[in-house]
Amino acid sequence: MSQKEEKIALYIANAAELGLGLSDELISKVTGGLGPSIYNADSETVACTQGSELETIKTNFLINKLGIYASDEAMYAAIKAACEKMGNSNRNKYRALVYALLVKEFNKEYVYN
C-alpha cells in the first residue's frame, strides 16, 4: 500500500469513527487534490481556532478551488460547523475531512468529478 493509500484509509476510518457521513470516493478525491500537504503533520490538520487558518481555508479552498462567493459570515459559519463535526476536543482535524465536509455542505461534489 502506498503512502497516499495509507492516508486515504486513515481518513476514511476517522470519518467513519466520527460518523461524518462522507463517501469513501469523496474523501479519496479531496485527499488527492491536497497533494504533498497530507504528508506534513502541520499542514495535514486544520487549526480551527486560528483566524489565519480560517482565512486560508476561505480564500484558497472555498473561493479559489470551489468557486464559492457567499458572504464571509456564511463561509466562516460553514468552516466552524465542519470543525465542530470533527469534535471540539479532537486534536486531529484532518484537512481532507474538513474540506470534504465543506464540499458536501456547499454541494460542490462535481468539482472533484
In the prediction, which pLDDT does 16 show? Answer: 96
For 47-56, what is the mean pLDDT? 94
Number of domains in the chain: 1
User: Residue 63: which CATH number?
Assistant: 1.10.238.120
Full domain range(s) for residue 33: 3-112
pLDDT tier for residue 79 given thresholds of 50, 70 and 90: very high
Three-state SS for the chain is CCHHHHHHHHHHHHHHHHCCCCCHHHHHHHHHHCHHHHHCHHHHECCCCCHHHHHHHHHHHHHCCCCCCCCHHHHHHHHHHHHHHHCCCCCCCEHHHHHHHHHHHCCCHHHHC
For 70-90, what is the mean pLDDT? 94
